[in-house]
Amino acid sequence: MDNLNVAILGCGTVGGGVARILLDMQDELTTRAGKHIRLVKIVELSPEISAKRFNIPLDLFCGKGSELSKEESNNYIREIIQSDEIDLIVETIGGSNDFVEQLAIDICKSGKHLITANKALLAERGDKIFGAAKESGSFIGYEAAVCGAIPVIKTIKESFTGDRIRTISGIMNGTSNYILSMMHNERMEFKDALKLAQENGYAESDPTLDINGYDAGHKLVILIRLAFGVNLPMYKIPIQGIENIQKEDIEFAEEIGAKIKLICFAHKIDGKIYATVCPMMVKNSNFLAEVNGATNAVKFINEYSGKHILVGAGAGSSETASSIVADIVFGAKHQGKLESEINSNEIEFTDAKHYQLPYIITFETGDIPGITGLVTTSIGHQNINIDTVSHNRHKRNCATFFIATMPCTLQQVEDAIQEIRKSNPEILLSIPKIIPILN
Amino acid sequence: MDNLNVAILGCGTVGGGVARILLDMQDELTTRAGKHIRLVKIVELSPEISAKRFNIPLDLFCGKGSELSKEESNNYIREIIQSDEIDLIVETIGGSNDFVEQLAIDICKSGKHLITANKALLAERGDKIFGAAKESGSFIGYEAAVCGAIPVIKTIKESFTGDRIRTISGIMNGTSNYILSMMHNERMEFKDALKLAQENGYAESDPTLDINGYDAGHKLVILIRLAFGVNLPMYKIPIQGIENIQKEDIEFAEEIGAKIKLICFAHKIDGKIYATVCPMMVKNSNFLAEVNGATNAVKFINEYSGKHILVGAGAGSSETASSIVADIVFGAKHQGKLESEINSNEIEFTDAKHYQLPYIITFETGDIPGITGLVTTSIGHQNINIDTVSHNRHKRNCATFFIATMPCTLQQVEDAIQEIRKSNPEILLSIPKIIPILN
């Protein structure tokens, strides 16, 4: 039986988990892969900590377990890429910079398989890396880059091949979902929920990328590339985080039978793709509304097979590591056959201005007679059908409007708001908040 | 580019759907498979009906579209199996009998790939068929055999390879789930819900296999073979249907925050496997409780990656066909590499008598003073901790008990009931119903 020799670069939370599973499951992996999967080398700056945390023999580490300088580490990495002994490299260093990009390209060019959990790298610089892999015939496994343990990549690549994906909607960031769940279930304010998330290990000390939607955006870019065969750069996707969600929004969501979730959304319609990452009011009849805490979930609507939902752990050491090991086995089993990631670049993108969704519009106005008529008439002028209107007067002398529309474009909504503003420049006491509804 | 030539045997609901997708998606399938996937032959007794229903050119049918006798059909099938032109055969004839078994074996022996949705055949006679495939190196695709559109087979085979599956629990029969959903949501009696299911096309005129749990049992046998690498014959699995679920059971389920679902359950613990198909009280905190109507769902608990849930359409023409086409692409792409389905036959099975679950026990007793004490004392004697007791007196002079236990074995429950019965042979006015709770 052949060997498949594996090296791990970076032995932290994820890389260490991979090493642990490779050592624990040696016999089963051999049976499943039809090859001896052997962990032969690990490059890590601080091997002792890592070896202790994951119970890994020190002699697997380059340098026999002594601390490495950056330079030494780079030299070992270079040796591994050039070594004929290594067949597959797990990159769990992380980061999206020139160094890691070049590293990934060099691995592919060497003809070795590359397995990575690096979503930022693949989302921002995937083009060149997949290009290098295509040329050399290397396999890139990146199941762990999107939604941790959920096998969403292989589901698209191997299971939805007899179908056409129409819509992707998903909860792909555990931190923001944890915060929003706390705001719903415990009626917490955003900042308190964030603090709790940090205390409980669900948010990093700098939670920016999780909160502002960019981490979720990276994952959406990767899924769009795979599902629709196109390269959609991040900057073309309207991305909004959850920082501005308030208690009142949560309460109104509950009132209309919905939960606010940070949703990654992509829809291919009439040959065009609409994509966004933003908080949405997810109706309780939609499974995604029931996904609480740090759990991730992805929903697909396909042409032939209809609705699919995949739910699982979006992060975690052994959870993410398990996805990486599955990629190693896949690479071994199927000779890492690479399909073209990009089928076509000719698909157009449509923006929110022209894509129809039902919306919730909330804003404060002066509490003056006739205001409801004025607001609803302006909305009607833009051919928007109103589903429900609600307003309350909790604070001062102002009315807070919550208007649920039938599907319309963002352009129509913005024009309606413009008209309200024009009728009396002082009528709007807050910047209107526009949140799509997901049925 | 190579061709992969496909023949379809049996062009009804599923086979016709496959033909339709193969014709509709020709270009995309070629890109994805790296081969021209060509539908070249269909064998069907009544080609005209099929051609019209699925818009298939008549000249694809053997016999140029004329009705076939059984004998003619068999001759064409024989020709196809012997033909060097055909690479892959889709068997959508159905049935688990000697003829279809021999057909499947002959296809494998010929070295062609076999794709099938035939769960009964694979569950009851899979041994020999997988054996034949192993010998000849054929690939057997059977994604469509378990939960229609849900890619549960490939998820186990390709995505959970870096992990160990511990527990499988699933809603794998759409008919019974539709009926139970109606009983919950509309407070219908079983027989009325069944009638409605038949009227709406969710139940066949003879719904026996769907209602009595055997259809679900077939799927569980297939999943156990794949997940745990063992052959568990159907007769070793305790299987119970939903025929005896009454309105009162549904009401009690709601009372304790649960839904009654027909659950396929398998758990590998201490090297042994416990498996059953039966109605369970699924707590609302479990996703499976939210799966309504004809939808299917499978939940896994894995050692490294934790909980996973897959939800999707369990049946339907294009839904099931889409899974078959994905198998065709998979066979084409990966040269249909076959992994051994059976890793080990050395695993023992444990039975309900020795496996611990929390239970709901319901029965009627005479409405006599001291009865609650007698019942609960008997249960306590068997070392069963009671979670809640409830009894009501809706009918006649009898008390209906609903007792929720903490985890215990079925043996303990049966011994407790025996003790109650012994204390006074006339005390039990109904046969006790014992329903496990799924948290």
Q: Which of A145-149, A336-340, A386-390 reaches the highest mean pLDDT?
A: A145-149
Reported as a single tens digit per residue, the pLDDT across B76-126 is 999 999 999 999 999 999 999 999 999 999 999 999 999 999 999 999 999
Chain B positions touching A327 (Cβ under 8 A) are 162
Predicted pLDDT of residue B5: 97
Q: For residue B341, is pLDDT > 70?
A: no
Chain B positions touching A329 (Cβ under 8 A) are 161-162
Nearest CA in chain A to B290: A287
Chain B positions touching A339 (Cβ under 8 A) are 32, 34, 333
Give the integer Cα–Cα distance in Å for B371 and B374. 5
Q: For residue A31, is pLDDT > 70?
A: yes
Nearest CA in chain B to A30: B161
What's the one-letter identity of residue B85? E
pLDDT cut 90: percent of chain A above it: 84
Count how many pairs of residues, chain A against chain B, have C-beta atoms within 8 Å: 176
Q: Is the dihedral of CA A17, A23, A24, A25 positive or negative?
A: positive
Q: For residue A343, is pLDDT > 60?
A: no
Predicted pLDDT of residue A351: 78
Q: For residue A224, is pLDDT > 60?
A: yes
In this complex, do A323 and B305 lie within 8 Å of one another by their Cβ atoms? yes
Predicted pLDDT of residue B337: 57
- Identify the weakest region by mean pLDDT among A144-148, A389-393, B411-415: A389-393
In this complex, do B287 and A151 lie within 8 Å of one another by their Cβ atoms? no
Give the integer Cα–Cα distance in Å for A217 and A224. 10
Residue A299 near residue A308, CB atoms below 8 Å:
yes
Give the integer Cα–Cα distance in Å for A332 and B335. 14
Pairing of strands B359-366, B398-405: antiparallel
Residue A219 near residue A145, CB atoms below 8 Å:
yes
- The Cα of B334 is separated from the nearest Cα of chain A by a number of Å equal to 6
Chain B positions touching A29 (Cβ under 8 A) are 161-162
Q: For residue B390, is pLDDT > 90?
A: no
Predicted pLDDT of residue B133: 92
Residue A193 near residue A234, CB atoms below 8 Å:
no
Average pLDDT over residues A105-112: 96
Average pLDDT over residues B171-186: 97
Average pLDDT over residues B344-368: 83
In this complex, do B309 and A309 lie within 8 Å of one another by their Cβ atoms? yes
Nearest CA in chain B to A338: B333
Going from the N-terminus, what domains does chain A have, and what CATH number goes with each? 3-149+320-333 (3.40.50.720), 152-314 (3.30.360.10), 356-438 (3.30.70.260)
Which among A158, A307, A318 has CB closest to B154?
A158
* Nearest CA-CA partner of A44 in A16, A74, A10: A10
Q: What is the DSSP string of A278-336?
A: EEEEEETTSGGGG--TTEEEEEEEETTTEEEEEEEE---HHHHHHHHHHHHHHHHHTTT
pLDDT confidence tier of residue A344, bands split at 50, 70 and 90: low
* Residue B415 CB neighbours (<10 A): 18
Chain A positions touching B29 (Cβ under 8 A) are 161-162
Q: What is the DSSP letter of A338?
A: P
In this complex, do A306 and B312 lie within 8 Å of one another by their Cβ atoms? yes
Give the integer Cα–Cα distance in Å for A156 and B132. 30
Which among A28, A313, A329 has CB closest to B306?
A313
Structure tokens at B258: 């649960």
pLDDT cut 70: percent of chain A above it: 96
* Substitution target from A163, A165, A282, A288 for chain B, most B beta carbons within 10 A: A163
Question: Three-state SS for A45?
Answer: coil
Chain A positions touching B323 (Cβ under 8 A) are 159, 162, 305
- The Cα of B284 is separated from the nearest Cα of chain A by a number of Å equal to 11
Which among B160, B311, B327 has CB closest to A287?
B311
Cα–Cα distances (Å) from B305 to A96, A245, A317, A323, in that order, read 26, 31, 9, 8
Which among A25, A304, A333 has CB closest to B319?
A304
- The Cα of A125 is separated from the nearest Cα of chain B by a number of Å equal to 23
In this complex, do A162 and B322 lie within 8 Å of one another by their Cβ atoms? yes
Average pLDDT over residues A390-412: 85
For residue A352, the Cα-to-chain-centroid distance in whole angstroms is 20
Tell me the pLDDT of chain B averaged across its residues: 93
- The Cα of B218 is separated from the nearest Cα of chain A by a number of Å equal to 22
Predicted pLDDT of residue B397: 76
Predicted pLDDT of residue B379: 96
Q: For residue B200, is pLDDT > 70?
A: yes
Q: For residue B342, is pLDDT > 70?
A: no
pLDDT confidence tier of residue A349, bands split at 50, 70 and 90: confident
Predicted pLDDT of residue B404: 94
In this complex, do B307 and A328 lie within 8 Å of one another by their Cβ atoms? no
Catalytic site residue A219?
A: yes
Reported as a single tens digit per residue, the pLDDT across A227-265 is 998 888 999 999 999 999 999 999 999 999 999 999 999
Tell me the pLDDT of chain A averaged across its residues: 93
Reported residue count of chain A is: 439
Predicted pLDDT of residue A120: 96
* Substitution target from B139, B304, B317 for chain A, most A beta carbons within 10 A: B304
pTM for this prediction: 0.95
Check B35, B41, B112, B219 and give the catalytic one: B219
ipTM: 0.94
pLDDT cut 90: percent of chain B above it: 84
Compute the radius of gyration of chain A from its Cα atoms: 24
Average pLDDT over residues B50-60: 97
In this complex, do A316 and B325 lie within 8 Å of one another by their Cβ atoms? no
- The Cα of A85 is separated from the nearest Cα of chain B by a number of Å equal to 23
Check A112, A219, A259, A299 and give the catalytic one: A219
Reported as a single tens digit per residue, the pLDDT across B203-257 is 999 999 999 999 999 999 999 999 998 888 999 999 999 999 999 999 999 999 9
Helices (H), B315-439: 317-333, 371-381, 410-423
Beginning with the edge strand found earlier in the chain, give each strand of the sheet holding B140-141 in spatial order.
B36-43, B3-9, B88-91, B113-116, B140-141
For residue B233, the Cα-to-chain-centroid distance in whole angstroms is 14
Give the integer Cα–Cα distance in Å for A335 and A222. 23
- The Cα of B73 is separated from the nearest Cα of chain A by a number of Å equal to 28
What's the one-letter identity of residue B399? A
- The Cα of B364 is separated from the nearest Cα of chain A by a number of Å equal to 37
Give the integer Cα–Cα distance in Å for B292 and B303. 28
* Substitution target from B31, B115, B159 for chain A, most A beta carbons within 10 A: B159
In this complex, do B25 and A328 lie within 8 Å of one another by their Cβ atoms? no
Reported as a single tens digit per residue, the pLDDT across B291-340 is 999 999 999 999 999 999 999 999 999 999 999 999 999 999 886 555 55
Predicted pLDDT of residue B413: 96
In this complex, do B326 and A154 lie within 8 Å of one another by their Cβ atoms? no
Predicted pLDDT of residue B178: 97
Chain B positions touching A295 (Cβ under 8 A) are 307
Q: What is the DSSP string of A351-393?
A: -TTTSEE-EEEEEEEE--TTHHHHHHHHHHHTTPPEEEEEEE-
